[in-house]
Structure 1
Amino acid sequence: MATRAPLPRVGENPRHRVMIVDDSAVVRMIVQRIIDDGERFEVVAQAASVAAALAALERAQIDIILLDVEMPGTDGIAAIPELLARSGNAAILMLSSHCAANAELSVRAMTMGASETLLKPSAAEFAVRFADVLERAMMRIAPARPADVRPTLADHTPAHADGVARPIECLAIAASTGGPHALAGFFGALPRDLAAPILITQHLPDDFIGYFARQISVMTGRPAAIARDGDRIEVGRVLVAPGDAHLALCRIGGTPR
Structure 2
Amino acid sequence: MTSSADPYRVMVVDDSAVIRGLLTRALEQDPTIEVVASVSNGQMALNQLPRQPVDVVVLDIEMPVMDGLTALPQLLSLKPGLQVIMASTLTRKNADVSLRALRAGAADYVAKPSSGGELHSADAFKRELTDKVKALASAARGGRSVGQRSVKPTATAPQRPASGSASGATPVKLRDPSTQMPEVLAIGSSTGGPQALFKLLGDLKGALRLPVLITQHMPATFTTLLAEHLGRASGMECHEGRDGEPLQAGTIYVAPGDWHMTVASEGTKRFIQLNQNPPENFCRPAVDPMLRSLAPIYGPRLQAVILTGMGSDGAKGCEAVVAAGGQVVAQDEASSVVWGMPGAVATRGLCTAVLPIGEISGYLRRKVLRSAA
- TM-score, structure 1 length as denominator? 0.73
**Change in 2 beyond 3 A, CA 1:91/1:106:** farther
The residue aligned with 1:3 is none
How far off its partner does 1:44 sit?
1.8
Residue correspondence of structure 1 range 97-246 to structure 2 within 5 A: 99-100=89-90, 102-113=91-102, 114=106, 115-119=108-112, 130=122, 133-142=125-134, 143=136, 144=138, 146=143, 148=148, 150-151=150-151, 152-160=170-178, 169-246=183-260
Does structure 1 conserve the Cα–Cα contact (< 8 Å) formed by 2:27 and 2:130? no
**Change in 2 beyond 3 A, CA 1:239/1:17:** same
State the alpha-carbon separation in 2 of the partners of residues 242 and 30 from structure 1.
28
Residue correspondence of structure 1 range 63-74 to structure 2 within 5 A: 63-74=55-66
Does structure 2 conserve the Cα–Cα contact (< 8 Å) formed by 1:104 and 1:208? no
Does structure 2 conserve the Cα–Cα contact (< 8 Å) formed by 1:174 and 1:201? yes
Q: What are the ranges of 5 or more consecutive residues in structure 1 without an aligned counterpart?
A: 1-6
Q: CA RMSD in A?
A: 3.5
Match 2:35 to one of 43, 60, 76? 43
Secondary structure at 1:153 match in 2: strand
1:88 paired with 2:80, answer: yes
**Change in 2 beyond 3 A, CA 1:186/1:59:** farther
State the alpha-carbon separation in 2 of the partners of residues 25 and 245 from structure 1.
34
Secondary structure at 1:180 match in 2: helix
- TM-score, structure 2 length as denominator? 0.53
How far off its partner does 1:156 sit?
4.8
**Change in 2 beyond 3 A, CA 1:23/1:80:** same
Q: Percent sequence identity over matched residues? A: 30
Does structure 2 conserve the Cα–Cα contact (< 8 Å) formed by 1:198 and 1:238? yes
**Change in 2 beyond 3 A, CA 1:247/1:16:** same
The residue aligned with 2:52 is 60
**Change in 2 beyond 3 A, CA 1:154/1:13:** closer
Q: Deviations over 1:205-255 (max 9, x none)?
A: 234332332222222222222223443322221111222334434543324
Q: What one-letter code is carried by the residue in structure 1 that aligns with 2:203?
A: A
State the alpha-carbon separation in 1 of the partners of residues 234 and 112 from structure 2.
29
Does structure 2 conserve the Cα–Cα contact (< 8 Å) formed by 1:93 and 1:118? no
